[in-house]
Structure 1
């Protein structure tokens, strides 16, 4: 379930960011690249959270 929420939040936040930046620059919003970036962002967050960041070993 956490993977699904990571994809949903990555998708929503990246689309929001692309929309705001495009309107600030006077450009136009493109759904495709924003969605692709959201999926890449979600996968990176999942890999970072599960693979690279680990709890410290107890001694």
Structure 2
């Protein structure tokens, strides 16, 4: 059994009338496979670690 802690994973979800890259950061609670798929598409901004600040621009991670 591993004591390794999975880092927090965040997805920037647009709200009504917003476009990709806008919206709020929400914690991703899905599986590892879903996370890898989401990151692989590059459609929504993703981040691992502490919750990003709204003014923080996240580079594309592939």
Q: Which has the higher contact order (CA 8 A, sep 6+)?
A: 1
Question: Which structure has the bigger radius of gyration?
Answer: 1
What band does the TM-score fall into relative to the shorter chain? under 0.3
Give me the TM-score of the superposition, normalised by structure 1: 0.28
| Superposition TM-score, scaled by structure 2 size | 0.27
